[in-house]
Structure 1
Amino acid sequence: MLPPVESSVLVTNPKFEVLYRDLCANKLDKNGTSKLDVKSQKERDAPRLELYRMCLEDAKREVIRASLRDAAYRDDALPDDLRELVALAAAILGGEVSNEDRELVNAELESFNTRTTAIGTAISKRWNEDASTLRQLLGIEAHRAATSIPQTIQNLKMSTSKSQLQLDHSRLALAGNIDHFHALHRQILESSIRILEQTIHGSVARSAKAKTEYLATVAEGMEKKVGLQHAQLIQQFYTPDVQAALRNQADSMRKESAVLKMKVRDAEGKLKEYQAAKGMQGMAKQYAEITRASKTVKEEIARL
């Protein structure tokens, strides 16, 4: 099978395209072999069929030899003398006995033909067990004959070959489309990069940035305007006359506070004098005077 060729190459080389199409359609089979006429195909198939026949005969001989060996060494149903005879026959079929030794054992093999029934029964039993195992592996119903196994195996081989051929075609088709996939991937990357650039540095991003800066400027102007209005309000209500009046009131309150503190100290001094001079006499009168003095001081403090 010829490898796939890009469509761009075929378009730019029309003569090569004609040659390529002719080779794929008329000169080569799907498996890559050359197409031949009927006579040439028969001549080519003859050695292949002969080789297949010889391989089949060899396989049959190998199956019989393996069955005889199994019957001789693994089957307890045969008597010992018969097992030795079967082992000798298996060795001869396997080429393990030389021509000189074969002349010596020919006499022993003469009894092999007379006891084929017992040997055939043992081998048939072994083959039936193998056939049952093959049916289980191949998923064949137990009631079907063992002769259906070769056809089932052949069908599986054909199905496997067909699947392999389809897989090869799919791989070739995929290989032919790789360049197209790469081109699409490159276009996707370019489009993604372009969109990303427009998002970060494009007109939309610039517009959003300008709008943000404008709003920040407006907010700063509003802040300064509010500060100015606050200063104007302070100037309107906190005039120099008001400030002077507040200072005078504060001075007056400080003076009155000093006078009241002096009165409190005088009252406390008088109380001590009364306590020292009269003792407990006139305590009620003194208490009343002190109470009145304290009340007067509290009223003056409250008035301030």
Structure 2
Amino acid sequence: MLPPVEDAVLQNNPGFAALYSTLSTAILNPDGTTKDDKSHMARQRDAARKELDTHRLVSAKHHLLAQAISAAVPRKSQSELQLPGSLLDLLLLLPPLLTGVGQPPAAARDVEVLHLLLANPPLSSLHAHMHDLASLVSSSLHSSAVQIARAAFPATDPSFTHRQVPSLARRIAELSSGLDPHADSLAAARLAATNSLTQLLQKQAEALLLLLRSLEAKHGPIARSLEHRAADVSLEAQLGQVNAETALWSVRKDVYSPEVREALVNYSAHLRDGRLRLRETMRTAEVKLQDYGVAIDGRAGDPRKERSLREAARAYRDTQRQIEDAQSDLSRLR
């Protein structure tokens, strides 16, 4: 499949993004093969793929046979006493020989050694034990197939798993056919998760940077310098206030001598006494006005009495004015 590319790389490189889009959509398949199936290289590739599949199939058969023979060797139990010794020797010697099948001989001496092994026991008795060997290998292969069927069909009852062995090839083909889309979706999901993680780390780095700036602004050298300056200004203001109060008391001491202060104290006492006398006079006048029927502070009075007294006061003023006029006339006549 094509290697995934991060979105940030494609966004930062528009030319590469266009090339990658062309390669992934118009030229190459999702598995990395070319879409031009008619080219000479495509035919060569198909032939090489078929040959590789053939060799892979042969190698898989040899591997399965070697594994089945290795698994057919009984462990140390009662079954070991029931098998002939030559058959046990064959079960132990055949897997290494089958593993080397298909590989070119390293030298002519290896070929001679192989022929010598096949011509001597226990390999020389291979045909005599072929039936027993085939039975053991068949049992081992069937046991392995049943285990694979249990994994391929997990919903099947374990007692009926052996019935699913014939459909293993079809089941494995179905699972293999659905593996590539899931692998592509998994790669896309991983790429999306990587991009999201990258963005998250960038946001976290920005948050840490803002936090550092905030801490620097609050507890850094500039903040401490401003704090010291503010404290210095506050101390200067307090010192100025103390100096002003000291100057005020000095001025008061210079302006007001002890005699002046004593006179001011006496004058203050005189004013206080005068204020008390004035209040007493006001209370006496209010009492007299109440006697005259005048309403004071919301208290009801006597309107008729007040009216008669006002008339008497006006008549008194008129009489007083007439007396003054008569006195002035008499003084002119003299």
TM-score, structure 2 as length reference: 0.44
TM-score, structure 1 as length reference: 0.47
